[in-house]
Amino acid sequence: MLYSIEKFSKARLLVVGDVMLDRYWFGDAQRISPEAPVPVVLVGKTEERMGGAANVAINARSLGAQVCLLGVVGKDEPGNTLRTLLEQSGVTAKLLEDPACPTTVKLRVIARQQQMLRIDFEDKPTEEHLSMTMELFRQELEKHDLVVFSDYGKGGLENISEMIQCCARAGKTTLVDPKGDDYERYRGATLLTPNRAEFRQVMGSWKSEQQLAEKAQSLREQLDVSALLITRSEEGMSLFTAEGEWHVKADAREVFDVSGAGDTVIATLACALAAACTLPEAMHLANKAAGVVVGKLGTAVVLPTELLQSAPVS
């Protein structure tokens, strides 16, 4: 896999979707509030990280790819913070400012390495800015080899069906990290990457590997997608295409935090496919990357050196 990883630097990726800011307040909780039966956290440190589609973008960038991120933020301090963080990471940010829509923020309060509380700030972008996003998408599409859609259900991908059609006409590979139970909107994509719970929400539960494969192939055919990759937590990953199916076991690691692991998976898949890896090879690398990132706190990235250490050279 060494040669493929080295070729990641030539990949030109366009990431589109729900951009958000992850904020962490770290502290100590040694007493209960006299006002209510809740712990009092004395904050000693704060961190700000990129989340959602922004986390996909920086994961791909950390692996060496050339990345452009397209999304909507508010005309506010969190939006400015995201721009600064993206600039520092080397991602080209095409972020439209919507004064009527605050930047999506997830604030996590953590004490003794445990999440005590999460507070979300969010709203859907206006139709005007969704139309502007669509126009900017058309302008950027031809400049890139592959498109990643990161759907967190925040409203930034209302036009994803039209975007996928544009990609198909342009001959571009499209990867989608889906959300919700309306998968019809992803029709015609190259690859969908639902996790186990998301797939169950759409297709129902299964009692055997054969039944899982039947449901997966049925969904793939219904939606006219080339491939379906289901991330299955401790059970690894399963890939389904018209040619067959492939499975990999989870990379055995101490799991510290699964936040953003799906972002790492789809970013690694995108880099690998842009570097001419086959789908099974790309899944193998993505599984290794997931094994690395779950050993880190919060949304995090995988470095090429870490991926090389965990992936065999071939």
Residue type at position 197: A
Confidence class for position 314, pLDDT limits 50, 70, 90: very low
pLDDT at position 313 is 44
pLDDT at position 223 is 97
Distance, CA of 46 to CA of 277 (rounded, Å): 39
* pLDDT, average across residues 46-51: 95
pTM for the full predicted model? 0.91
* pLDDT, average across residues 176-183: 95
pLDDT at position 254 is 61
Task: Decide if pLDDT at 1 tops 80.
Answer: no
Distance, CA of 135 to CA of 227 (rounded, Å): 28
As to burial, measured by CB atoms within 10 angstroms (0-12 exposed, 13-18 middle, 19+ buried), residue 236 is middle
Give Cα separations from 40 to 5, 27, 30 (angstroms). Answer: 46, 9, 7
Q: What is the DSSP letter of 195?
A: B
Per-residue burial over 56-95, b if 16 or more Cβ lie within 10 Å, else e, is bbbbbbbbbbbbbbbbbbbebebbebbeebbeebebbbbb
Q: What is the pLDDT of residues 214-225, one digit of tens each?
A: 999 999 999 999
Order of all β-strands in the sheet with 191-192: 92-98, 66-74, 12-17, 146-150, 173-177, 191-192, 227-231, 237-241, 244-248
Confidence class for position 307, pLDDT limits 50, 70, 90: confident
pLDDT at position 95 is 97
Q: What is the pLDDT of residues 253-272, one digit of tens each?
A: 665 555 668 899 999 999 99
pLDDT at position 96 is 97
Considering the candidates 22, 151, 177, 263, report the single residue annotated as catalytic. 263
Active site residue 263: yes
> CA 8, 9, 11, 15: dihedral to nearest 10 degrees?
90
